[in-house]
Structure 1
Amino acid sequence: MKHYTILLLLFFMSLLFTGNAIELREGYWEGELKLIGNKVLPFIFSVNQDQKITIINAEESVLMKESILKNDSLQYYFSSFPNFLIFKVESEKRISGSFVNPDRKNEFARIDFNGKYFGKEQPKFCGNMKNKIDGKWQVLFDPDTEHNFPAIGIFNQEKNKVTGTFLTETGDFRFLSGSFKNNKLMLSSFDGAHVFLFTATLKNDTLRGEFISGSGYKTNWIGSKNENFKLENPDSLTYMVKDNFSFNFKTVEGEDYNYPNKELQNKVVIVQILGTWCPNCLDETMFYKDLYAEYKDLGLEIIAVAYERPESFEDKVKRINRFTQNKEVNYPILVGGDASKEECSKDFDMLNNISSFPTSIFINKYGEVVKIHTGFNGPGTGKIYTDYKRKTKELIERLLKE
């Protein structure tokens, strides 16, 4: 009996020790994701007294869901995406782990990282720089290939800290932050979906560098200051090539949904084409949530169609329901096909093509398409985002009064 009691006591002590061993120290941590070419992407996250983790992504705070204990590691899931982080505590001030994207079935599904404890206060930037890169930059990605595409770099610099983003014709790269030291620029983003690292060297008023996405994509880019440079109007990229706008998809309950229908007669309608895996779609959805709440009683309806990565209808529904519940989406999301612009373009063959997720079609009370907006520039673009929200509200109000 005495022997049994000792064993039982040792068992409970081992549980207690194990629980303490995998607990992350409260405060700020610095992590480094290991990318291709021996490059690393730095990120900062905080741990509070309840072991809740928040990733600091420039001006964005990404609060992760509760942890799950798996063997000797902790798994933290992102609330907006199916991706998750695995943490393994090496010591009180050292961790290792992986960022896992379950939709990728190859060597790119997992990106390893290391981390170290920083302290109770968030790391700060300091120093005054002789050269500054504030302002608007005309940028070309893939400059030496036929796949090159233009962008606008918008950078804000305070001491050696740089924040900003890149705008393309189909959306922005969301929140970026980093540093500019000794004429070398480093910007990064890690938000649960994007794993972006931009580096460049400033020489003769020109930035030349690399863009790395995740562990499998790398290209070059070049930029020069140009306050007057403009991209193609995102309202001109997608347009009608047939007279009638109509579609048929399944609801998440498996019922047929046809557009147009009687319920939407004399309504102003936005048809949102998105994917729950898409960060720009998330930004647009958060705006549409507020828009719908403000104008629903006046006659606005929003119908979304989601193109998802899982293969089966049931798994697509799970992704949509998860997204709707986590983000408290207040308008219906229908089940589209696979996460493919080609498949989406076939479904919406009354349009010239679908070149971006998201794409939004604005329809007046008479069933006429009055505007098609390709892509979405979110809150990381600052005034561009606030101006777009204002102009969209003005459009909705005008259509409701017709």
Structure 2
Amino acid sequence: MKKISNLIFLLSSILFLFASCDKPSSVFNTGMWRGALITESGAEIPFNFEVADSAGKNHLDIFNSSERFRVNEISRNGDSIHIQMPLFDSEIKGVLADGKITGVWTKHLADTDVVMQFFAEAGIDWRIKKEFEKPMAQVTGKWATTFLSTDGKDTTIAIGEFVQNDAKVTGTFLTSTGDYRYLDGILDGNKLMISTFDGSHAYLFTATLDGDKLTDGKFYSDFSSVETWSAVKDDQAKLPDAYGLTVLKTGEKKINFSFPNLEKKMISLNDPQFKNKVVVLQMLGSWCPNCMDETAYLSKFYDKYQAKGVEVVGLAYERTRDFDKSKKNIERLKNRFNVKYNLLVTGYTKDKEDAAKSLPMLNKVIAFPTMIIIDKKGEVREIHTGFSGPGTGNHYIEFVNEFEKLINDLLKES
């Protein structure tokens, strides 16, 4: 009888092992992954990320060219996985099984959500295509670029700057209102394909390289937007001066406002803490990747310059007028970059016409971020539209040198 019981136990154990082998594994594999978002038209917007384990807790880094974007908020419940982006109020939810994730990426807007199908697979380090043709030419250089909206009504002038190493292509597009951050992809024969995903924007650019022209360009943005674009190689291409796009109205010299900080204390430039100080006023939004880059820079700048007599104030224009919702998203930005300067909740939205009402002494607001530099007398000396972040290479370095020279000159004034 005992032998029969042992036999039954042994058979049961074998059946359990076979059943376990058939059951999908929900292990979150460490190492490289390839992720992709699917647009309404069926195009893939690909990116790579690396999963690591630290003290039994996972984190991941999203790769776009040289950028490594750390994501720490990852939660698991059985085979369900939730990846909360540290900024931009977006998240990935899906099912994890056998080294694959299938689910959705959701970007929360003020009145609705943008939802895109998402999938990812472990153990893949290529981004666009695993196999591709040897490039027929070089796309390295500067390109005068024109984007045309779907309805044909809106035109955006940009400069594409790319670096090609064998088939790999990195670079960005610069515009008068900011850059498209870190783009990463390949030149497959004569087909250019570059993409980025940073938790806020999902972009894919495709085009055909034809000598000194890029033709048949398509720009896929988030779920449904598709624009056409073309470019001509032009080493002399330039954008309008970022210091001349937004100006004070005739007769105005100063900026006036009173907005609450995150503790609901009202802050004004007339407060004693700003007296006889050089002030940098930052118009930003927690939803804005260029604002993220500018905040990363200004946070370190403030640490360096506060003791010299500089104050920085951030005016946040969020997707909602709800103070608590705005505060939550602004705090994420503050904590991410260890911001020590005041961040104020304006109560105005990201709509540029609405934002312009908050500072009626400006002629217009055309972009986030916009930076206003104020001298010791409280008078506006410069207004800088947009921000060329570290993804723009030398343009970023040039801005930092130019901006800090201006600040140092203002500090010398009595």
1:114 aligns to what? 119
1:10 aligns to what? none
One-letter amino acid matched to 1:220 = T
Determine if the alignment matches structure 1 residue 397 to structure 2 residue 405: no
One-letter amino acid matched to 2:68 = S
SS at match of 1:232: coil
Is the 8 Å Cα contact of residues 375 and 381 (structure 2) preserved in structure 1?
yes
> Which of 239, 243, 249 is residue 235 of structure 1 equivalent to?
243
Distance in 1 (alpha carbons) for counterparts of 2:92 and 2:338: 23
1:346 aligns to what? 357
Cα-to-partner distance string for 1:37-87 (whole Å, 9 max, x where unaligned): 111011111112343221111111111113122463111112223211223
Cα-to-partner distance string for 1:188-222 (whole Å, 9 max, x where unaligned): 00011110110011235321211011002111001
1:57 aligns to what? 64
1:274 aligns to what? 284
Deviation beyond 6 Å, 4+ runs, structure 1: 121-127
Is the 8 Å Cα contact of residues 110 and 319 (structure 2) preserved in structure 1?
no
Q: 1:104 to 1:116 in 2, by over 3 A?
A: farther
Shift of 1:104: 6.2
Distance in 2 (alpha carbons) for counterparts of 1:47 and 1:115: 12
Determine if the alignment matches structure 1 residue 200 to structure 2 residue 200: no
Shift of 1:127: 7.5
1:67 aligns to what? 74
Is the 8 Å Cα contact of residues 156 and 162 (structure 1) preserved in structure 2?
yes
Is the 8 Å Cα contact of residues 159 and 174 (structure 2) preserved in structure 1?
yes
Is the 8 Å Cα contact of residues 125 and 160 (structure 1) preserved in structure 2?
no
Q: 1:52 to 1:125 in 2, by over 3 A?
A: farther
Shift of 1:385: 0.2
Q: 1:125 to 1:156 in 2, by over 3 A?
A: farther
For residues 173-252 of structure 1, the aligned pairs below 5 Å read: 173-208=180-215, 209-241=217-249, 242-243=251-252, 244-252=254-262
Distance in 1 (alpha carbons) for counterparts of 2:31 and 2:255: 53
One-letter amino acid matched to 2:122 = Y
Determine if the alignment matches structure 1 residue 323 to structure 2 residue 333: yes
1:39 aligns to what? 43
1:4 aligns to what? none
Distance in 2 (alpha carbons) for counterparts of 1:316 and 1:56: 28
Structure 1's unaligned 5+ residue stretches are 1-12
2:384 aligns to what? 373
Tell me how large the CA RMSD over aligned residues is.
2.4
Distance in 1 (alpha carbons) for counterparts of 2:218 and 2:46: 16
One-letter amino acid matched to 1:202 = L
Q: 1:111 to 1:136 in 2, by over 3 A?
A: same
One-letter amino acid matched to 1:322 = R
Q: 1:67 to 1:141 in 2, by over 3 A?
A: same
Shift of 1:20: 8.9
Task: Among all aligned residue pairs of Structure 1 and Structure 2, give the percentage whose two residues are the same amino acid.
Answer: 35
1:8 aligns to what? none
Is the 8 Å Cα contact of residues 210 and 219 (structure 1) preserved in structure 2?
yes
Shift of 1:95: 2.4
Is the 8 Å Cα contact of residues 292 and 333 (structure 2) preserved in structure 1?
no
1:76 aligns to what? 83
2:12 aligns to what? none
Larger Rg: 2
Shift of 1:256: 2.0
Shift of 1:173: 0.3
Cα-to-partner distance string for 1:252-276 (whole Å, 9 max, x where unaligned): 2222222233321110000100001
Is the 8 Å Cα contact of residues 22 and 74 (structure 1) preserved in structure 2?
no
Q: 1:35 to 1:352 in 2, by over 3 A?
A: same
Cα-to-partner distance string for 1:22-46 (whole Å, 9 max, x where unaligned): 2211221112211121110111111
Determine if the alignment matches structure 1 residue 133 to structure 2 residue 143: no
For residues 7-18 of structure 1, the aligned pairs below 5 Å read: none
One-letter amino acid matched to 1:361 = I
SS at match of 2:72: strand
TM value normalised by structure 2: 0.88
Distance in 2 (alpha carbons) for counterparts of 1:316 and 1:372: 25
TM value normalised by structure 1: 0.90
One-letter amino acid matched to 2:115 = R
Distance in 1 (alpha carbons) for counterparts of 2:166 and 2:42: 28
Q: How many residues align?
A: 386
Distance in 2 (alpha carbons) for counterparts of 1:136 and 1:251: 42
SS at match of 1:37: coil
SS at match of 1:342: helix
Shift of 1:322: 2.4
Determine if the alignment matches structure 1 residue 98 to structure 2 residue 98: no
Is the 8 Å Cα contact of residues 144 and 158 (structure 2) preserved in structure 1?
yes
Is the 8 Å Cα contact of residues 126 and 159 (structure 1) preserved in structure 2?
no
Greater Cα shift, 210-219 or 239-248: 239-248
Structure 2's unaligned 5+ residue stretches are 1-16
Distance in 2 (alpha carbons) for counterparts of 1:239 and 1:20: 60
Distance in 2 (alpha carbons) for counterparts of 1:30 and 1:333: 36
> Which of 351, 373, 376 is residue 362 of structure 1 equivalent to?
373
Cα-to-partner distance string for 1:203-243 (whole Å, 9 max, x where unaligned): 35321211011002111001010011111111000001042
1:258 aligns to what? 268
One-letter amino acid matched to 1:36 = E
Distance in 1 (alpha carbons) for counterparts of 2:170 and 2:75: 33
